[in-house]
Structure 1
Amino acid sequence: MKSIALVGFMGSGKSSVGKKLTDYLNIPFYDTDEVVENQLGMQIKDIFKRHGEDYFREVEEEVLLSMPSDGAVIATGGGIVESPVNRETLKNNFNSIWLQASFPTISKRLEADAKRPLWNNNDQLKHELFRSRQNLYQQSTVKIIKVDELEIDECAQEILCYLNL
């Protein structure tokens, strides 16, 4: 089975849904943000402070290219689609699924989250970032699942049905 890659804005549920999928499928789970943090030995917010976003994106791209194309579930970082290479890799090498959440849903889920460097901006910058990535998610995926009204298990079940698993 081609690996499942979950994309979407931060807070859309990629890690939670990914872990639920691995429960059903009994295959490995990877979170690209966690892999980057483990490789560099620091949290993403510290990577941003010390090395900048561009460096983080370079490492993130290397991590995505190292992910297994078969037999795994991969939760990607919210900005992984910023790279054209990543968009092509996601669309061509994986069953790439966009967990599409509305801005109000994201805002509610992340209201107390201080560890996401790009979320700690003013509201206008958050809206701009959210809007700027929508088309990039579309370019990177083969399926969109609207997650605003779905529980984690319901979202996982919809993915399994779509993939006939």
Structure 2
Amino acid sequence: MSAHRNNAIDAGRIEAAISDRTIALVGLMGAGKSTVGKRLADRLNRQFYDSDNEIEKAAGLSISDIFTLHGEAEFRRGERRVLERLLNEEPHVLATGGGAYLDPETRDLLREKAVTIWLNADLETLWRRVSRRGHRPLLKAENPKGVLSRLLTERTPIYEQADLVVRSEEGPHKATVESILRALDDWSKARHA
């Protein structure tokens, strides 16, 4: 048996230990919440939800259109309602929008019903990922990388309040999923100690 095999994470044991909690991924746009979240849900045999997709379904509008037509404050109210609905469903893996965790009421909802995991990525990694697409409402600015840098600086102290912090770096998403599983394994052992 190889050393890799001996260090393998038992996803079934983790799932059993946290079967009563949703796993909520928080962090800035570009951290990999959706991509990693889907893979994590597969590993844990759970349903996956992307809150932005669920908000768009509920509103019948794109996130960008909601921001344009109704403003960020209304978007955040709708986001909170959608997250509350999702958190009342069977435990699953949830990718939250980049600003969701900033709202104190939303943060309290997530703390009550979920294990929150901050996918922490550095500015250059975030920028490489988000600059591939032009649909980010908060980055429709003259200096989008500067906006992203400011958001990272402002939001880091709040993201640090998550139950767990896992580094999201360039490379295979499988490595980030394994890091999350190790962090969840440690968290569940401490919770049941």
* TM-score using structure 1 length: 0.92
**Superposed counterparts of 1:25-104, under 5 Å:** 25-68=44-87, 70-104=90-124
If you compute each CA radius of gyration, which structure gives the higher value, 1 or 2? Answer: 2
Equivalences, count: 164
- Where does the alignment leave 5 or more consecutive residues of structure 2 unmatched? 1-18, 189-193
Which consecutive aligned stretches of 4+ in structure 1 deviate over 6 angstroms post-superposition?
none
Output the CA distance in 1 between the equivalents of 2:50 and 2:39. 13
Distance 1:26 1:132, change over 3 A: same
By how many angstroms is 1:150 displaced?
Answer: 4.8
Which of 154, 158, 161 matches 2:179?
A: 158
By how many angstroms is 1:14 displaced?
Answer: 0.2
**Identical columns (%):** 38
- Where does the alignment leave 5 or more consecutive residues of structure 1 unmatched? none
Query: Is residue 36–residue 173 contact of structure 2 (8 Å, CA) maintained in 1?
Result: yes
* TM-score using structure 2 length: 0.80
Q: What's the Cα RMSD here?
A: 1.6
Give deviations 1:88-115, integer Å, cap 9, x for gaps. Answer: 2223321110000011111111113111
Output the CA distance in 2 between the equivalents of 1:150 and 1:94. 27
By how many angstroms is 1:161 displaced?
Answer: 2.2
Q: Which residue of 1 aligns with 2:146?
A: 124
Give deviations 1:31-77, integer Å, cap 9, x for gaps. Answer: 11001000011110011111111110000011111123652000000
Output the CA distance in 2 between the equivalents of 1:16 and 1:59. 23
Output the CA distance in 2 between the equivalents of 1:162 and 1:148. 16
